[in-house]
Chain A
Amino acid sequence: MRLTINKIVLLLSTISALIGLAFLGWILITLIMKGLSSFHLSLFFKDLIDKGLRNLIIGQFIIAGLASLIGIPIGMLAGIYIQEYGRGKFVRLIRDLSDIMMSAPSIVIGAFVYAVVVAPTGGTSGFAGSIALAIMMIPIVINTTDNMLSLVPRELREAGIALGASKYRVILDIIIKAAKVGIMTGLLLAFARIIGETAPLLFTSETSNYFSLDLTESYPSLTVSIYNLANDPTQASRDLAWAASFILTMLVLFINLIGRYITRHKG
């Protein structure tokens, strides 16, 4: 009897794993089939107004890139403070708050940026979108930096100090270098996470049909456009949405796999 129950339970959990994998397979196969059938290289050379995706892809990268430029330094500095300088209650508070922010609903971040950036400046803009994504990114970067720096052995710090180096030199030249691979991977994954975000961009950057480098205007966004295109009743728009989703997912999975590869072989 015990053995039978054992078998049944093990079988059930194996089946659940298969169900989980089946969903992954189903989603990926759907994406690849629909994506490839609507995919065409010319999509990379035309803007949305001409039924292409060029402006959207570039726009998404620029918004996410600018978000990284804002978010990475702040996040890394905060992580360094938590791990290297601060102690006691304040550090614990910051760590806890950043943990909570990491899981905060992204649409609420969008609403916040709408209230403090979009409404005062009078309209949606690429900058507002970048700020929203930067806010999403900061806690992730803090978490990564914090974790990776905590893995650096204490002796390295002591050796640096013993050589007479000032603390910030020790941090920049020794500790960060020692934790480089881990931090790089973390930053890569953080980037992969924000580049696929839609909700915080819906009413901050919005999207645009045209190629644009002017970040003070509504800015082309791949994800927001996927949402609009998929809700469009015409088949052509839906096909374009599938092609865009395909490109986006492959990009995100690719970055994730690179991150994994780096940690496995050099970490």
Chain B
Amino acid sequence: MEKIFKNLSLISATFVLVLLVSIFISLFNSAKPSIDEYGLGFVTESAWDKEVPIENSVSSLANDAKPIKKEVKASSDEDDILAAYEDEDEPLTKTVFGGWIPIVGTLLSTLIAMVFALPIAMGIAVFLAEIAPKNLSYVVGIAIELLAAIPSIIFGMWGLFYFAPIIQKVVGGYQVSLLTAGLVLGVMILPFMAAITRDSMRTTPDVLKESAYALGATKFEVIKDVIFPYSKKGIIGSIILALGRALGETMAVAFLIGSVFMMPKKLSDPTISIPVAMANNFGEATGLTLSSLFYLAFLLFIISFVVISVAKFYFLRKAD
């Protein structure tokens, strides 16, 4: 019985490793057709689902038609033959997918969210950790944490029907835009960022703060010269963690970014982000569209994996 229990728990622990590895592998596998077709150029290609005449786009292909035919003959894959057959019918165009627009949309909306949320979150954290009396800090702290627990779809709906019209009045342009999506995303990560920053600030030993006060420092000086330097790593880690959350957020953005594959020229233009591209197109997608979406998912997974790892293991690792 002891052995069974121990092995069960070992299996469960190993399951996490297996799960993560299989996420990597299966995303990569599903993205494979798109990766083979477009390679790394996918990342900087701004067309999505666009018919491109073959001769114009890739002149080298037109020059050496023979080697390509050879390849097709060499492979016995049915799909390839089918593709070659279809090519004979319409040999002049091919469909191009590229991730540049959703990648830019993801990065820009995250950037806007961070610029908006960072100062306010820092202010809230300082207020909770240092300014507010204990009771007030407790109550406001709970309120902020509850705000963090509200499902992101609610932020999206509220943003679409109440926040976006106001932004539109102030800034002009469309209701759904990069700017409104970024701001609502900012509101969404605000409580999360504030709560974990406050926790980092609270790790500062009281003795340090008291010594500074005893030397005649003002509260601001204590915050600036004692608390910030002491908890710098934790605070940066919290910010990066919030960044990671913003990068992968779907629902708060899906309502507001406009979901069009269009490069935004100004902040009030609609565009699309990686999670939203997936949310809105995954259901009906097949073939290259689907594997291109998987390619995007794969990229997003790697980006957030790196971001989260940096935050957790470089900045937030407890010294042990």
Interface stretch (choices B81-89, B97-105, B296-304): B296-304
Q: Is the CB of B123 within 8 A of A100?
A: no
Interface stretch (choices B33-41, B53-61, B66-74, B276-284): B276-284
Contact of B26 among A93, A115, A245 (CB under 8 A): A115
Q: Is the CB of B144 within 8 A of A24?
A: yes
Complex alpha-carbon distance, A52 and B160, angstroms: 23
B234 contacts partner chain A, Cβ-Cβ < 8 Å? no
Interface residues of A in 208-267 (CB under 8 A from B): 223, 226-227, 230-231, 238, 241-242, 245, 248-249, 252-253, 256-257, 260
Interface stretch (choices B12-20, B42-50, B204-212, B263-271): B12-20
Q: Is the CB of A12 within 8 A of B282?
A: no
Q: Is the CB of B149 within 8 A of A256?
A: yes
Query: Which of A's residues lie within 8 Å of B, judged by CB?
Result: 2-3, 5-6, 9-10, 12-17, 19-21, 23-24, 26-27, 30-31, 73-78, 80-82, 84-86, 90-91, 93-94, 96-101, 103-112, 114-116, 119, 135, 138-139, 142, 166-168, 171-172, 192-193, 196-199, 202-203, 206, 223, 226-227, 230-231, 238, 241-242, 245, 248-249, 252-253, 256-257, 260
B146 contacts partner chain A, Cβ-Cβ < 8 Å? yes
Complex alpha-carbon distance, A148 and B110, angstroms: 34
- Which residues of chain A are near B115, meaning CB under 8 Å? none
- A24-B147, A80-B9 known; A96 and B153 CB under 8 Å? no
Q: Number of residues in B with C-beta < 8 Å to the partner?
A: 88
Q: Is the CB of B301 within 8 A of A106?
A: no
Complex alpha-carbon distance, A6 and B222, angstroms: 10
Contact of A106 among B13, B17, B20, B250 (CB under 8 A): B250
Query: Which of B's residues lie within 8 Å of A, judged by CB?
Result: 1-2, 5-6, 8-17, 19-20, 22-23, 26-27, 29-30, 119-124, 126-128, 131-132, 140, 142-147, 149-158, 160-162, 187, 190-191, 194, 218-221, 223, 241, 244-245, 247-251, 254-255, 275, 278-279, 282-283, 293-294, 297, 300-301, 304-305, 308-309, 312-313
